[in-house]
Structure 1
Amino acid sequence: MAAYIRALPKAELHLHIEGSLEPGMLLALAEKHGIELPYDSEAALQEAYSFTQLQDFLDIYFKGAGVLLDADDFYQLTRAYLERVHADGVVHCEIFFDPQTHTDRGVPFATVMDGISRALKDGERDLGISSRLILSFLRHLSEADAEKTLDEALPYRGEIAAVGLDSSEHGQPPEKFSRVFARARSEGFLTVAHAGEEGPPEYIRQALDDLKVVRIDHGVRCEEDLDLCRRLASEKIPLTVCPLSNTKLAVFDRMESHNLKRLMDMGLVITINSDDPAYFGGYVGANYRAVAEALSLDYDDIRALARNSITASFLPEDQKKAWLECIDAVARPD
């Protein structure tokens, strides 16, 4: 099964580039910039990656991002991610970045864009991985802050495909950002949003109705509302599910309890992604392998998930068709 998973062309649609900051690079960049960290080795840093809830993760995530200061840092970060997922058979990725995490520290928006955009262009040239960039607003900040970030993004409309919404869901409903999302849509951006991971199914409804999103990031708590599940299936709204993240953050107590297969069986468009792989224990290939083993997925299930990743992407229809044909041409092992 592992070889089959690797051989299938696939897209990753839920990846926070700051969450791919591996301990070795984090320590190297801290040394480069003379930043003192409370960790003296990769092992000590890995030990700190023990989370019991999303906020525990976010605390160390934002601290780690503090070593990203110049355009070359963002280039190295993005290039390293692309090289890792190229080995997993990823042919297209749609990457989240959190500009507020950086501009609040005094790092210019242009610096972030310069490094990430150059790496994505080089990744397509050198590795054959196409990409789209998604700007995520931090939901624990105000809508006014998001408006300022959107202002900074407007000159980069040719490089940013969509806007999204991430960070902790607790007490931060999607409807809080209705106006800035409406403005983003009017400026030509697609919209997605994190909802229904730690937040209730109602947050998924708000993301659909108030933010007019075309994809739901996570969304696994939709299972608590069967009418919502039927709507998601009927409207073919993709969910970008992140299995290792879900178990690491105790959304599910173990992978065998994950509802991914149940949601697939209900007709929902489910995709597999890695979220913040440096922190959650694996890139997209590891996520495929983990659910395949724990949920006893067969070759048809895995192929369906790979196909979903392409159909749910922002690629043009002709490119989707070509990749779907490539997926169907991958031979199953005897």
Structure 2
Amino acid sequence: MSLDAYIAGLPKAELHLHIEGSLEPELMFELARRNGVTIPYDSVEAVRAAYDFSNLQDFLDIYYAGAAVLLHRKDFEDLAFAYFQRAAADNVRHAEIFFDPQTHTERGVAMATVIEGLLDGMRRAESELGVSSKLILCFLRHLDEDAAFATLKAAEPWLDKLAGVGLDSSEVGHPPSKFQRVFNAAGALGLKRVAHAGEEGPPAYVAEALDLLHIDRLDHGNRSLEDAGLVARLKASQMTLTVCPLSNLKLCVVDDLKGHPVPEMLRQGLHVTLNSDDPAYFGGYVNDNYRRLAEAVGLTRDQVTTIARNSFEGSFLTAAEKTVHIAEIAAYSARSA
């Protein structure tokens, strides 16, 4: 069996997926028509042509513009279910998806509309596709702490439906320390904590996420490799890193996938996973990330299997649920020998 075929059938979880970033141009146009929203593109092709970024901020500008078509509960359901269909085709068995409520509430869309719509899509995915999922509320780090606290307060009626909180958007100039108090408050409510750090920001941001935000999982973390002490710490704690190769390439975090840090992360014993981040914008869902990275850096089948196993181990599933999924990986690997 070729490595590509092996990846296709390998059970896996996705732990770093922004649901708004799975808005494909076709659905963007459909929702724009349905909702009477004018968007600054006249065709699907024009949208795809605009997906030529030189940095994170260029991407975020179009990302927020695209989100303007999301207005009603059904829109969020359709967005989520479209992602889960693509994920299921990649043999993703479980996904922990990020959403950015501030992107929508600042446009006058109610928190209930956003969350209930996403939950509708998640329920459909479980019943129709057999894909389980969890929901992680992210704070936009370019906004202030008061806005994050207000968002957390507004989400309190759905605390039992949220797995955790995260931190995303523009990293440089917005260190994790800016959100220390709101992350402490989220932890006190029983929520897991994750944060983007070390994508464009320095290793010091990773240290802050660990020391001040008390994260349970590290999103990206590429630049951790610049600090040997930090690498040793991440290895000792087996902190899961949710790495996104095609995102890194598209946003020029790496110049070439052949120079991607995943092989070195694995060599140093870091708990690496592969994810698609914003697949509609970055040109690849989770299997595309596995395949293209494997081809570029020469990942072995054993390494690919380890990465998939890490994705379940690093999830917020129960220990019993993790055991079931990891056993499925072992059985698949044995059958495919």
**Structure 2 length-normalised TM:** 0.98
Superposed CA offset, 1:165-218 (max 9, x none): 000111100000010000110011010000000000000000000000011100
Show the counterpart of 2:129: 127
Q: Distance in 2 between the 1:333 and 1:134 partners?
A: 34
Q: Distance in 1 between the 2:329 and 2:296 partners?
A: 23
Show the counterpart of 1:175: 177
Mapped contact 1:12–1:90 kept (Cα < 8 A): yes
Query: Aligned partner of 1:84: which letter?
Result: R
Alignment equivalent of 1:58, drawn from 40, 43, 60: 60
Show the counterpart of 1:18: 20
Show the counterpart of 2:45: 43
Tell whether 2:235 aligns with 1:257.
no
Q: Distance in 2 between the 1:153 and 1:64 partners?
A: 23
SS of residue in 1 equivalent to 2:135:
strand
Superposed CA offset, 1:119-173 (max 9, x none): 1011111111111100000000000000000001111011101000000111100
CA offset at residue 32 of structure 1? 1.3
Show the counterpart of 2:329: 327
Q: Give the percent of matched residue pairs that are identical in Structure 1 and Structure 2.
A: 54
Mapped contact 1:135–1:160 kept (Cα < 8 A): yes
Superposed CA offset, 1:49-92 (max 9, x none): 00000000000000000000000000000000000010001000
CA offset at residue 17 of structure 1? 0.1
Query: Aligned partner of 1:213: which letter?
Result: I
Alignment equivalent of 1:244, drawn from 227, 240, 246: 246
Query: Aligned partner of 2:302: which letter?
Result: D
Mapped contact 1:274–1:283 kept (Cα < 8 A): yes
Show the counterpart of 1:101: 103
Show the counterpart of 1:33: 35
Q: Distance in 1 between the 2:277 and 2:335 partners?
A: 28
Alignment equivalent of 1:111, drawn from 101, 113, 131: 113
Q: Distance in 1 between the 2:156 and 2:315 partners?
A: 22
User: Superposition RMSD on alpha carbons, in Å?
Assistant: 0.8
SS of residue in 1 equivalent to 2:69:
coil
Give the 4+ runs in structure 1 shifted more than 3 A: 331-334
Alignment equivalent of 2:213, drawn from 211, 226, 231: 211
Show the counterpart of 1:231: 233
Show the counterpart of 1:145: 147
Mapped contact 1:138–1:167 kept (Cα < 8 A): yes
Mapped contact 1:299–1:332 kept (Cα < 8 A): no
CA offset at residue 333 of structure 1? 4.7
Query: Aligned partner of 2:97: which letter?
Result: I
Tell whether 2:81 aligns with 1:73.
no
Q: Distance in 1 between the 2:6 and 2:39 partners?
A: 41
Q: Distance in 2 between the 1:333 and 1:51 partners?
A: 39
Q: Distance in 2 between the 1:6 and 1:36 partners?
A: 38
CA offset at residue 36 of structure 1? 1.6
Mapped contact 1:219–1:239 kept (Cα < 8 A): yes
**Structure 1 length-normalised TM:** 0.99
Mapped contact 1:92–1:131 kept (Cα < 8 A): yes
Query: Aligned partner of 2:305: which letter?
Result: R
Structure 2 residue runs without a partner (length 5+):
none
Mapped contact 1:4–1:332 kept (Cα < 8 A): no
Query: Aligned partner of 2:151: which letter?
Result: T
Query: Aligned partner of 2:318: which letter?
Result: P
CA offset at residue 332 of structure 1? 6.2
Structure 1 residue runs without a partner (length 5+):
none
Q: Distance in 1 between the 2:188 and 2:268 partners?
A: 34
SS of residue in 2 equivalent to 1:158:
helix
Matches within 5 A, 1:180-199: 180-199=182-201
Q: Distance in 2 between the 1:194 and 1:170 partners?
A: 11
Tell whether 2:25 aligns with 1:8.
no
